[in-house]
A and B are shown apart, each in its own frame.
Chain A
Amino acid sequence: MLGPMGRLAPLREYAAALAAAALVSVVIGAIEARTHVANISMLYLVAVLGAATRLGRGPAIVASITSFLAFNWFFVEPTHTLSVGDPQEWFALVLFLVTALITSQLAADQRDRAREAADRARDASLMFEIARVLGEPDLDVALAAVTESLRKGLDVAGVMVELDDDTRAHRTSAGDVKALERPDIGALAAWIPSARSATGARARWIRVLSPHGSSSSSTRDERVQAVPLQTEGRRIGTLALVRPSPRPRSADDRILTAVATQLAGAIERSRLRQRATDAEILRRADELKSALLGAVSHDLRTPLASIVASAGSLRQTDVQWTAAERESFLSDIESEARRLSRIVSNLLDLSRMESGTLHPDRSWYDLAALIDDVVGRLRPLTQGHRVEVRVPEDLPPVSLDYVEIDQVLSNLLENATRHTRPGTAIVISAAIDGPEVIVEVSDDGPGVPKDALDRVFEPFFRGSSGGSPRGTGLGLAVARGLVEAHGGRISVRNRPEGGAVFRFTLPLEHAARARAAATRS
């Protein structure tokens, strides 16, 4: 007989049922040798019940019939035959068989119900787990977590989600998915609505072989099960799994269908979100463009005007310039041109940042060395100030893009020299604070006006005081963009005793790993 799962229990379970009946026969034999017990055949029911609850319906029936035969053979006169002398004994034997069969079926029913309940509980907790991991905003991370939960929850060899994108198939997998590594896994799955699917009450999926596949045995991999992901009738991908052996459990259909629906919804939401983000980027790029035009007209014109004026003066033939005057025109041309070059660099950085094409090229660096390098390089600019560096000896290596963090620090240092009087101190310090490193540039200047504290990092923002000549309004915005691209934060505060403190953080996420590797080599 077939069990409710539509499959035969393996031979091992039948053998166990036979062994249970044999064991009871031995026990009964031992008891009978000493004393006679009425209805001792009932002892066989223990074996039947055990087989029904432990092994299932089929083995229980085998146990019932074996018990019936064994009792007849060994203990009913005449023994060692299947014939029965006493008709009353006959009646008792048949009654025993009927009782055993009914008991076994009742127990097996109970077992099936318990198993189904366990399956449902598993499905429910799996669904909950999947709903939870799908809450992750990064789709790739969410898909990786879903495949892993499914692999564990369904106890299968491998799980794969394939998204049919406009350009290429995108796959996320967990476990062993070798059986799925073929270009047309999507062709394995098809959605066949059953008669009741119009009401949404029930749907089922079937396996479909690839177009050229029915003859080839490799495509008929019975361990593979695939279900399409759809939203609004449009196919967006495939969920496929590989079982350790080719025995599908129909109970999994329900959960697979449910997971597919949930997944499709999450993927669609993520794509909508992406589209909204793209629109937002476009809008911000537009805003930047207008701000840029404003800046170009002002910031670029000032140095250009002084270059043109100086060069024009030098060309005058009717004036005799002294050597000192000529030198001052020439140095004006050079310094203004360099200033233009800095502005253009910052503009370039800013546009790369805003277009989202800024990807830090990270490597491990000694932050103290970087700070020393920047301070050394900017010495001509900071000549009038006392620059002090306070970095602890045991600062671990930090993962960063050297050029970009160099630029952040340079911009902060430049900003500090611009807004403070010569002779004052500028302190650069670094320290570890939990999972990040903090770098601060503090000065003894007038500090940042209260109303400007929130806005100094905006592109083209300049203090209203007008006391800060030569600002491009870009340095701090660039610094913020670069720090954020590193996963850090930048902020400014005024010290109660006066002076501004610009602070940025860089995550130390893998510092421990770096240290371990550094000591290893």
Chain B
Amino acid sequence: MSPATGARILLVDDEPAIVRAVRANLGSRGFRVDVAESGREALERVELHPDLILLDLGLPDLDGLDLIRTLRGRGRAPIIVLSARGAERDKVRALDLGADDYLTKPFGVEELLARIRVALRHTLRSATDEPVFRARGLTVDIEHRRVTVDGEELHLTPTEYALLTALVRHADRVVTDAMLLHEVWGPEYGDEDHYLHVYVARLRKKLERDPQKPRYIATEPGIGYRLLTEEA
């Protein structure tokens, strides 16, 4: 599990203590860390083509959501949003605007490293789309439309299968309700948004052995869901 050594990370945050801690932790693991303390600075530093952007939504000069929109227009580097608890709606909007993941402040170092790892891995993997997805006993064979858990085949409804493949496409990254709805029902979903969670719950019932310790589908309260490929 060695990180992509030398990956350039742009940290956009104006809190000195956070900047210090993140810089020290990431630096000691071989990442090159750039820091921008304002939105304006972030727009300058993004010209250096970072491999990943850590973005605090509460900046002194620019609205964090506007900044995401601008950054997305400048490149595909994954963006991980840092934000306080209780700002779930902002996080969802950030994700729907194109941010790749989020971390709720206060967060631990392990959490931060895990998110960075997943985001970087995804930029590499998205090019090579394998027809069979495998993770800890779960296989999703897109070609043959077969899903198995520990070798046992599951019988999923078309909706459940579509939900699962949507989650697989974003494996290890958070998927918001709106993203799921869009991917499963297309841009003109109707009543489904009311029942999305009920469908996901049914899918989980078929997938998970111990519902209190979900191995594959984790709920991100107020945000959406995440398909886990590694032991939490």
Contacts and interface: CB of A to CB of B under 8 A. Distances in A.
A379 B177 CA distance: 26
B205 to A, nearest CB: 8
Interface string A379-391: 1000000000100
Given A337-B106, A341-B106, A366 B197 contact: yes
Given A366-B201, A369-B201, A369-B211, A517 B194 contact: yes
A207 B204 CA distance: 66
Interface in A116-152: none
A345 B211 CA distance: 27
B222 A365 contact: no
Contacts of A368: 201, 211
A162 B195 CA distance: 37
A406 B191 CA distance: 24
Interface of A is mostly: helix
A348 interface: yes
Contacts of B194: 363-364, 514, 517
B212 A376 contact: yes
B2 to A, nearest CB: 26
Nearest to A406: B221
B212 A364 contact: no
Interface of B is mostly: helix
Contacts of A352: 86
A402 interface: yes
Nearest to B218: A373
Given A341-B106, A402-B222, A521 B198 contact: no
Contact of B221 (A337, A366, A402, A517): A402
Interface in A388-409: 389, 397, 401-403, 406
A432 to B, nearest CB: 16
A90 B162 CA distance: 98
Contacts of B193: 363
Chain B: number of interface residues, binned into ranges: 20 to 34
B212 A517 contact: no
Given A338-B106, A372-B212, A389-B212, A363 B221 contact: no
B198 A397 contact: yes
Contacts of B177: 363
B197 A517 contact: no
A413 B204 CA distance: 23
Candidate in B198, B202, B204 with the most chain A CB atoms within 10 angstroms = B198
Interface in B167-199: 177, 191-198
Given A341-B106, A348-B86, A349-B86, A402 B212 contact: no
A201 interface: no
A375 interface: yes
B201 A402 contact: no
B20 interface: no
A381 B159 CA distance: 36
Given A341-B106, A517-B194, A518-B195, A375 B212 contact: yes
Interface string B100-138: 000000100000000000000000000000000000000
Contacts of A514: 194-195, 198
B214 interface: yes
Contact of B197 (A372, A376, A389, A402): A402
A493 to B, nearest CB: 27
Contacts of A372: 211-212, 214
Interface in B88-104: 88-89
Contacts of A521: 159, 191-192, 195
A362 to B, nearest CB: 9
A364 B106 contact: no
B148 interface: no
B88 A363 contact: no
Interface in A321-366: 337-338, 341, 345, 348-349, 352, 361, 363-366
B212 A518 contact: no
B195 A403 contact: no
A408 to B, nearest CB: 12
A364 B198 contact: yes
9 contacts: A337-B106, A363-B193, A363-B194, A365-B198, A373-B219, A375-B212, A376-B212, A376-B214, A403-B222
Interface of B: 85-86, 88-89, 106, 159, 177, 191-198, 200-202, 204-205, 211-214, 219, 221-222
